[in-house]
Amino acid sequence: MKSSLSLGSVFGIEIGIHYSWLFVFLLVSWSLAYGFFPQQYPGWPGATYWIVGAIASLLLFVSVLIHELAHSLVAKSEGTPVRSITLFIFGGVSNITRESENPKDEFIMAFVGPMSSVVLGVVCGTLWFVSGGFSEQVQAVLVYLAAINLLLAVFNMIPAFPLDGGRVLRALLWWLTNNLRRATQIASQVGQGFAYVLIFGGLLWAFTGNILSGLWLVFIGWFLNSAAEGSYRQMVTQETLKGMHVSDMMYKDVEVVDPEATVRDLVERYILPRNIRALPVVHDSELVGIVTLSDVRDVPQEMWDATRVAEIMTPKENLHVLAPQDDVVQALEALAEQDLNQLPVVDRGNVVGLITRGHIISFLRVRQDLGVK
C-alpha cells in the first residue's frame, strides 16, 4: 500500500502505517476522551481523559498489529513469504504474497487472527477483573481493550470475504468442492451481500437521525464491497497466470535507443515509424533506462533537437528490472507498484524483451471472455 510510514520490521516483516490511520488515532482518542471514559469514570481532570484516550488508542493499534502478526507468522510457517503489514483506516492488512496451497493452511491462517483477538480480549478482561482497587485509569484502559478486542474478533469472524470469517468460509467451501475458484466466487458473493446489508442499514440509520454512525456504516459497506470484488478478480488473475513466466509473454523484437540520441531522433526514427510507446535505453549493450511517450510529451517540440534521451528517461536505478524466468504475476505487481505500463526484461546484462501491462491485461481478458484458463 502506497503513502505509508515505515516503522521498521518485526520477524523480517516490514510494519507500516498508512496516513489514513492517523485519522483513526485522533477519532478513537477523541471519542474515548469525550464519550466512553467520562461516562464510565467521571471526575478526572480534563487532560487526563485525553492522555488516557491517546494511550488506549495506541494500545488498540498494538492489538491490531498483534492480530495481523498472527496471520503473517502462520503464513510464514506454512511457507508463504510475507512482505509487510500495513495499518490503515479499517484496521490492518498483511501483504501475504500468494494464496495458501490447500484449504487446511488457509483455514488456520485465517482463523488465527480472530483467535488472537479473543485471547487479547480475555487477558485484558482478566487483568481488569483482578486489578480492582488499582488506579482507575489503568482499569479504564484494560476494560476498553477487553471490549474492543472481543468486538474485533466478532467483526472479523463475519463470514464476508475478504474478512477473516469469509476466508474461513472459503477454506471450508474449498475443502468441500475441491475448487478454489468456485469457493472464492461464493465467498465473495456472500461478502458483497453483507456489504449491501451494511450500506442499506447505514442509509436507513442515517435517515432516521443517526447521520454520522449511519454514514460510517455505508462507508465500511462500500469498502467491503470493493474489497470482495477486488479479491475475487485478483484470485482469477493469479490463477490464470499461474506458472507463466515473463519470457512467455514479453515482446522479444525490441527496438532500443542510445542515451545520446536527441528527442527528435527518438520521435522520428523510432516512435513514429514503428508505432511504439516505450523503448529501453541501451549504451554499450547495457541497459541504462527506459523512455516512454509520456517522457517525450513533457518536452516542448522546439526543445526536441537540444534534448538528449538520457535527460528525460527513467534511469535503470529507478526501475524494477525483470528476468525472463520471473513469474508474470510478479511482473504485474511490479508494474502496478511503480505505476508503469512497461518494464524491460534483462538476461545477463542484455535487454531481451519488453513486458507491457496492456499485453498482460488483454491476454487475461480474452481468456476470461472465453471462460477458459
Positions in the binding site for Zn ion (CB under 5 A): 113, 164
- Whichever of 156 and 342 has its CB closer to Zn ion, that residue is 156
- Whichever of 167 and 313 has its CB closer to Zn ion, that residue is 167
- Provide, rounded to whole angstroms, the least separation between the CB of residue 115 and Zn ion: 10
- Whichever of 96 and 287 has its CB closer to Zn ion, that residue is 96
- Whichever of 40 and 97 has its CB closer to Zn ion, that residue is 97
- Provide, rounded to whole angstroms, the least separation between the CB of residue 67 and Zn ion: 5
- Whichever of 105 and 164 has its CB closer to Zn ion, that residue is 164
Are the C-beta atoms of residues 84 and 13 closer than 8 Å to each other?
A: yes
**Cis, peptide link before residue 42, omega less than 30° from 0:** no
- Provide, rounded to whole angstroms, the least separation between the CB of residue 102 and Zn ion: 19
Cα separation, 322 vs 256, whole angstroms: 16
Are the C-beta atoms of residues 169 and 115 closer than 8 Å to each other?
A: no
- Provide, rounded to whole angstroms, the least separation between the CB of residue 329 and Zn ion: 23
DSSP per residue over 53-81, as a string? HHHHHHHHHHHHHHHHHHHHHHHHHTT--
- Whichever of 53 and 113 has its CB closer to Zn ion, that residue is 113
Reading the block at residue 308, the C-alpha cell is: 538528449
Reading the block at residue 98, the C-alpha cell is: 500468494
- Whichever of 164 and 326 has its CB closer to Zn ion, that residue is 164
- Provide, rounded to whole angstroms, the least separation between the CB of residue 351 and Zn ion: 43
- Provide, rounded to whole angstroms, the least separation between the CB of residue 114 and Zn ion: 6
- Whichever of 170 and 257 has its CB closer to Zn ion, that residue is 170
The number of C-alpha atoms within 13 Å of 312 and in the hemisphere containing its C-beta is 27
Residue nearest to Zn ion (CB): 113
Cα separation, 313 vs 289, whole angstroms: 6
Task: From residue 301, give the alpha-carbon distance in Å to each of 228, 262, 267.
Answer: 46, 12, 10
For residues 270, 273, 277, 279, the Cα torsion angle rounded to the nearest 10 degrees is: -20
10 Å CB burial of residue 325 (0-12, 13-18, 19+) is exposed
Task: From residue 272, give the alpha-carbon distance in Å to each of 128, 136, 253, 276, 295.
Answer: 73, 75, 17, 7, 15
- Provide, rounded to whole angstroms, the least separation between the CB of residue 167 and Zn ion: 8
Cα separation, 311 vs 305, whole angstroms: 12
Pairing status of strand 82-88 against strand 13-18: parallel
- Provide, rounded to whole angstroms, the least separation between the CB of residue 93 and Zn ion: 9
